[in-house]
């Protein structure tokens, strides 16, 4: 990695992420660059660093909002025709362990789910060519 490609460093929970020295880029780094380039082009920004900052702040805001409402069953964030993030709580259930015959209660779970909407949802289905 050269000096022109800043590494992303996640900030703490109270502040948005910052660009600086951080962990090495993840495997999806090339895809992130494509997103940065599209944001830069759409908003007529001068540098990729500005686009990177905007994308990081938006992702941080979504993450913070979801974690703040993790205890609220049924909470959702709808992003226009892109998709919807929703939080669902699943209560524990009784399961029988076949080896011992013992019945145990499973843990209560909280799930964050993403559902694609609009054009993304239409393109999601794969038609077989048989």
42 vs 26, 37, 39, 46, 129, CA distance in Å? 25, 9, 5, 11, 36
Domain annotation for the chain: domains and CATH numbers? 1-68 (no CATH), 70-130 (4.10.520.10)
- Tens digit of pLDDT for each residue in 11-20? 445 566 655 4
Residue 127 pLDDT level (bands cut at 50, 70, 90): low
Model confidence over 84-109: pLDDT tens digits?
999 999 999 999 989 998 999 999 99
Q: Is the CB of residue 105 less than 8 Å from the CB of residue 93?
A: yes
Tens of pLDDT, residue by residue over 22-77, are 455 566 667 888 989 999 999 999 999 999 999 999 999 999 999 999 999 999 99
């Amino acid at each position: 990695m050269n000096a022109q490609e800043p590494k992303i460093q996640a900030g703490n929970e109270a502040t948005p992420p910052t660009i600086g020295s951080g962990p090495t880029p993840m495997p999806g780094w090339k895809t992130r660059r494509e997103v940065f380039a599209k944001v830069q082009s759409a908003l007529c920004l001068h540098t990729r660093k500005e686009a990177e900052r905007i994308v990081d702040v938006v992702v941080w805001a979504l993450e913070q909002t979801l974690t703040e409402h993790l205890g609220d069953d049924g909470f959702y964030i709808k992003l226009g025709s892109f998709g919807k993030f929703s939080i669902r709580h699943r209560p524990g259930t009784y399961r029988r362990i076949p080896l011992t015959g013992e019945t145990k209660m499973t843990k209560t779970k909280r799930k964050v789910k993403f559902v694609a909407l609009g054009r993304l949802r239409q393109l999601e289905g794969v038609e077989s060519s048989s």
